[in-house]
Amino acid sequence: MTQPAPATPEQDGPAGQDGAASPSSRVDALVLGVIVALGRFALAVPWPVWKTVTGIAGWATMLTSRRHVVLANVRHARYGAPPPGPLAWRIGAAQIANHLRTVVGTLRASVELPDPDRFETRNFGHLTPFLDKRGVILVAPHAGPYTTLGIMGRRWLAREGFKGELVIVARMFQPFRSRAVLDWFVRTLAMANVTIVPVDEEPGKLAAILQRTLRNKGIVVLLVDEPTPTPSLAVPFFDSAITMPIGPARLARAVGAVIVPVIASYGSRGKQRITVGEPIEPAADPAATLGLMSRALERLITPQLSQWSMLTPIWHDPAPARSESSIAELHLHTPGSDGLCTIEEWRAAARAAGVKVIAITDHDHIETVRQWKLAHPADDDVAVIPGVELTARGRIVHLGVLFTGDVPSALPKMDAPLPDLIRWARGIPGSIVILVHPHAGLWKQQLRGLARLGLLPDAIETRYPLVGWQGTEIEREAARYGLAMLGGSDAHLAAGQLGRHVTVFPGETAADLIAAIHARRTRGVTTPGAVDVPGRVFLLQSCYAWLLPFRHLPGVPAVRDELLARAKRAALTSSVRPMGLAETPAPRDVPSAKRDLSRR
């Protein structure tokens, strides 16, 4: 039950004064008829057929933009050992398929109650001591058949002797948005003696219902792994953070109820299962209670990740605390090669976005940033690290080098073999070698070859434009080879591109960043949202870049200057995108060296 849209008076208005049905009432009746017909159809089709259909639909949906949401779930939940791309896709497809099965199961249940013999429980003993003795708040994630288990759970509880009321606080599926359909849904589930209360209910009325239920030693069921309209807090979750409602913690404390985490899942041969976690006594501080809830849900979700059907964005990523961690943007281009923004323009954009350190990495060109650094030896609020992006043999493989000491006055010849470029960079004291935007199909072979030669880079970009699903696989290989993980926006066009893919590091200064790279305590992250850069900017910049190898020919510099001027004018519509880091919570710390920064 996800994605509500609170009904408006226009949607649910009564019939007109003359007694005729209003347009909204006619729409409600039509939608209701469709839902009822779908319920009968869903029941008529055998469940194995639905299992096959939803499985295919899960894979098909992974070809849409929805995959980014489910792959984020996999990446965050499997941070310790990111699965390779195909496995991550398989888990994501299973998550979507389980969500679709939940929709089908809900429609089937509206016509005929599920067979209680196809229901099983695990660790029910965690709940037994509280039945009919204390109010119980069951907190659950969106996993498995979480809707029909409300129906089956009532029968299951009755078998165990529970005589109290079962109330489910629900957010409705999109098809159930109108008041008429919502009322039908509530009446349908009432067949199983289950009380449904929409989370969008007026807050005072909602609180009164739940308090009455719990004081009467009843059970309240809440889904807590998704933002709600109610007051919420950001809570550490896996390697990042999500927003959880404060209500369960406050409610349990106020009425003396206990919180019991549970998760629904599909068991063997189509059976439906509920697994009960260890009970949580509410603390005086709601944040402490939510922290215990999040840890409990982590333990329940981890072994059943493929059934966690969270299909809306929930993550706070990145999640550094300003006082403990900072942001670096380590892949920017200037007019020295094929970028449109000057160093000062990038610094202004970084200042506006709260980025502490930037690196200028023009293509096969060092003179622009070298001269700037000579004129500005001391950094102020935004540090600049000189760098270069070297073109290796084949022109599609690039190597980034940051110069933390002396900046060279000459660069190696373009199109040299990758190992030769690394040897050249290693000869410069203080250099940091980075495999930037690893090329799909090549980077694994490159890492293996460089490892054999003893020429592995210091770091690899794990977050960059077009990284797609392979980001988690790059992280896994980076951990295997002991490489620092970085993010880089590879920004050429407009100030608003800065900060899309960034590096999180402990501390604030360039020296802190350098130390963190050497200690492998950095993390590449992708921030939400995207900058809308006009298409003509890309076209003008591409022409500007294509002329770069010919810039020494007569007339070419003037043409490039004009293209640059036009592209910059067109890019003015792309403003700096603030990253909002000050409001972003910090995930908790963990012992692992790989996770310590992501948690702090």
Q: What is the pLDDT of residues 454-463, one digit of tens each?
A: 999 999 999 8
Mapped onto helix, strand or coil, the DSSP state of residue 465 is: coil
Look at 95 and 176; give whichever has higher pLDDT: 95
**Rounded average pLDDT over 292-321:** 82
Give whole-number Cα distances, 130 to 192, 279, 350, 551, in Å.
Answer: 22, 10, 55, 78
Residue 584 has a pLDDT of: 32
Contact 422, 435 (CB under 8 A): no
**Rounded average pLDDT over 554-569:** 81
Q: What gap in Å lies between CA 335 and CA 343, rounded to an integer? A: 9
Confidence of residue 422 (pLDDT cuts 50, 70, 90): very high
How many CB atoms are closer than 10 A to CB 203? 13
Q: What gap in Å lies between CA 121 and CA 139, rounded to an integer? A: 16
Q: What gap in Å lies between CA 291 and CA 258, rounded to an integer? A: 15
Token pair in block for residue 201: 């209910």
Q: What gap in Å lies between CA 79 and CA 598, rounded to an integer? A: 10
Residue 45 DSSP one-character state:
S
Q: What gap in Å lies between CA 111 and CA 304, rounded to an integer? A: 29
Quick one: angle between helices 85-109 and 67-77, nearest 10? 110
Look at 596 and 205; give whichever has higher pLDDT: 205
Domain parsing of the chain, residue ranges: 21-307, 325-533+574-599
Residue 338 has a pLDDT of: 80
Token pair in block for residue 135: 């109010």
Q: Quick one: which of 239, 285, 274 has its CA closest to 122?
A: 274
Q: What is the pLDDT of residues 101-154, one digit of tens each?
A: 888 888 887 777 777 777 888 898 899 899 989 999 999 999 988 877 667 777
Residue 191 has a pLDDT of: 65
Residue 2 has a pLDDT of: 35
Residue 400 has a pLDDT of: 94
Share of the chain above pLDDT 70, in %: 81
The mean predicted confidence, pLDDT, of the chain is 80
**φ, ψ for residue 276, nearest 5 deg:** -100, 130
**Rounded average pLDDT over 362-375:** 92
Report the b/e string of 243-252 with b at 16+ CB within 10 A: bbbbbbbebb
Q: Where are the beta strands (DSSP E) in 257-414?
A: 258-266, 272-276, 325-332, 357-363, 383-391, 398-403
Asked if pLDDT for residue 467 goes beyond 60, the answer is yes
Confidence of residue 228 (pLDDT cuts 50, 70, 90): confident
**Rounded average pLDDT over 373-394:** 88
How does strand 166-170 pair with strand 195-198? parallel
The separation between CA 6 and the C-alpha centre of its own chain, rounded to angstroms, equals: 25
Is the CATH code 3.20.20.140 the one for domain 325-533+574-599?
Answer: yes
Confidence of residue 180 (pLDDT cuts 50, 70, 90): low
Look at 107 and 551; give whichever has higher pLDDT: 107
Residue 179 has a pLDDT of: 60
Q: What is the pLDDT of residues 201-222, one digit of tens each?
A: 777 888 888 999 999 999 999 8
Mapped onto helix, strand or coil, the DSSP state of residue 261 is: strand
Asked if pLDDT for residue 161 goes beyond 60, the answer is yes
Asked if pLDDT for residue 10 goes beyond 70, the answer is no
**Rounded average pLDDT over 313-318:** 70
Confidence of residue 178 (pLDDT cuts 50, 70, 90): low
Q: Quick one: which of 227, 287, 318, 233 has its CA closest to 580?
A: 318
pTM above 0.75, yes or no: no
DSSP letters, 437-464, are SPPTTTHHHHHHHHHHHT---SEEEEE-
